[in-house]
Structure 1
Amino acid sequence: MPFSDARNRSAVSRREALLTAGSLGGTTVAGCLGSNSRSVSVLSAGSLARTFEDHVGPAFEEETGVEVHGEYYGANAVMRMVEDRTKHPDVIVSADATLLRDRLYGEFIDWDVEFAANSVGIGYNEETEFGQRLDAGKPWYQLALETNEGDIAIGDPDLDPLGYRAVQAFELAETEHGLEEFRETMMDLVYEEPEEPQMMAGVEAGSRAGAIVYRNMAIDHGMPFFEFPDEYNFANPELADHYATVEFTTAEEGYTAHGRPVIYNATVNGGADEPDAGHRLVQFLIDESDLLVDAGLAVGDSLPRPEGDVPEEIDV
């Protein structure tokens, strides 16, 4: 079913139970994390920057007294930073669950939890000609072909799953709408933004007409969002086999990503400095689905979903 119709799981928060248990035992939840756990570091996919900074981080600190210190990059770049040890986060979050497992399982981690989903489409400036014609019902792909070079941005596909999903969406749209060489033409037209959190900046300023983004990113910036059809929005699990008919291979690592539904997952780094706080943050993502929904993500009935040797500290 489409992202906009996905049923959002109303998880029962463990907050009251934890606080009650803490008060009965003479401690607070924050105390359970240990007196030295005053912060937790997160290395996350850039599309969740606002989600962590505006929603998850403040709520987590309010509940536990532990600050969330986040850094946000394209998920390919996140994996590379962990692999080459230029970053040493407590919690790792990916916008492509399979990417994290392919790159980090074995040497760094052996488990993760899928906690949210998303949809791909166009965040656009409604005051531009492109936005006005899109609002008038003109097919997005025809309008895209008429844009000037750089009017539409995508993420850098070598750094970011959102980038390679844009390329894959172009290819699926080419087949879906009978558009000859649509993918190649669009790749000549688009601007590749290397900093995922900056994807919407040019659109907000009006220097770009739109960007291929996740739904929550448009919501973060108060911009209108045109969701692609199910056939290439990567939001419908029932179309996983269809999405998998396209792929993209990154230039630097040579990693081949097949098309797949947008699923976020999180784990605690095997060498985390603050593993207790890391586990608590992952548990918070599992429990507080309403926060994620408020941030524009989806949490359907199939989520959360664990993978691998999940530690006993995590209750899924």
Structure 2
Amino acid sequence: MVKLMIRKLGVVSLLFFLFVSCGKQNEKTKIVVFHAGSLSYPLKMIEKEFEAKYPQIDLLLESAGSVESARKISELGRRCDLFLSADIEIIQKILMPLHAEWALGFAGNEMVLAFGKNSAKYKNINENNWYHAILSHELQVGRADPNLDPCGYRTLMLFQLAERYYKMPNLSKKMIESIGEKNIRPKVVDLLALLDAGSIDCIFIYRSVAVQHDLKFIQLPAEINLGDPADSEIYSKSEIEISGKAPGESNTLHGSPIVYGVTIPKNAANKDGAELLLKFIFSERGKNIFKESGQNFISPPIVIGEKKP
């Protein structure tokens, strides 16, 4: 089924390419992409190569936390041609079935505790004592907003899992209180500037982003880092509530292995262009760009929903 879908994308891609090639010489066809901030690095590489291959196309990338991006579609009625989320469950919970019919899980990741390049505190922290350093206020820690960015609620899930793993009652609550709200930002990549400036010591972030920015990081146990499908049952014991589809509503999310998702929203203005871009992302070159960016590519993708491109 996945192979058939990719072949169909190839046919659409050819027809769309012929169409845009026949357009006015100086008039470019736009493809609007909403995407998770943690995908900025690989998507900029894809933008460069995609536009070189299709010079009549202008790829417009708009970065935000995945929850915020989904709400631009569901609540504000904004249009994009392709939506790439740091959590496929955001597509399921917020966009399907009213605003999207399907989703493809295409990439994995894991949570790490990352330090600045010149951090002097990094050498004293490891996977066995990092939470002690937080509780003793030795570290200024940054984290993303759980209501806007999946990395934010995954950080809180990580805390719950750490409480069970290290067998320390109330560890999650104590860490949240110790960190406070001063260094919470809308999306995880917003924290990088604070880290570079030395305003904070470390941040909970995806491994891929730490690799892309050459950060030092502590690799956390598989039982808590949300990166190993073999530990799905353990992850599911964590539970977070975030804002729902409408004001006053909430969504309950359970921990699961990190899976990034992509969809073409129902209100996409350029569905053919979106399919052409999707085909490039799932090409060997597209997969390699994600791998070079420190991110696992899931092949074949996880398919959710009945109707697919």
TM over 0.5: yes
SS at 1:49 equivalent: helix
Instruction: Label 1:247 to 1:123 Cα distance change in 2 as closer, same or farther (>3 A).
Output: same
Deviation string, structure 1 residues 124-160 (Cα, Å, up to 9, x no partner): 125334313127x7622222223357x1111101111
* Equivalent residues in 2 for 1:210-289, closer than 5 Å: 210-251=202-243, 253-287=249-283, 288-289=286-287
- The match for 2:48 among 40, 54, 58 is 58
Question: In structure 2, what is the equivalent of residue 168 of structure 1?
Answer: 157
Q: Is the 2:223–2:231 Cα contact (8 Å) retained in structure 1?
A: yes
Q: Is the 2:33–2:80 Cα contact (8 Å) retained in structure 1?
A: yes
SS at 1:101 equivalent: helix
| Percent identity between the two aligned chains | 23
Question: What amino acid maps onto 2:263 in structure 1?
Answer: T
Structure 1: 5+ residue runs without aligned partners? 1-13
- The match for 1:298 among 292, 296, 302 is 296
The whole-number CA distance in structure 1 between the counterparts of 2:42 and 2:84 is 12
The whole-number CA distance in structure 1 between the counterparts of 2:158 and 2:77 is 32
- The match for 1:82 among 62, 68, 73 is 73
Question: In structure 2, what is the equivalent of residue 146 of structure 1?
Answer: 136
- The match for 2:82 among 78, 91, 98 is 91
Question: In structure 2, what is the equivalent of residue 5 of structure 1?
Answer: none
- The match for 1:201 among 193, 213, 226 is 193
Q: Is the 1:73–1:197 Cα contact (8 Å) retained in structure 2?
A: no
Question: In structure 1, what is the equivalent of residue 3 of structure 2?
Answer: none
The whole-number CA distance in structure 1 between the counterparts of 2:31 and 2:219 is 34
What TM-score does the superposition give when structure 2 sets the normalisation length?
Answer: 0.85
Deviation string, structure 1 residues 52-100 (Cα, Å, up to 9, x no partner): 12x2211211222222211111111112111113521111111111221
The whole-number CA distance in structure 2 between the counterparts of 1:201 and 1:240 is 33
> Which shifted more, 79-88 or 237-246?
79-88
1:37 Cα offset (Å): 6.1
Aligned residues: 287
Q: Tell me if 1:104 matches 2:91.
A: no
The whole-number CA distance in structure 2 between the counterparts of 1:146 and 1:102 is 37
What TM-score does the superposition give when structure 1 sets the normalisation length?
Answer: 0.83
Deviation string, structure 1 residues 30-50 (Cα, Å, up to 9, x no partner): 335563762211111111122
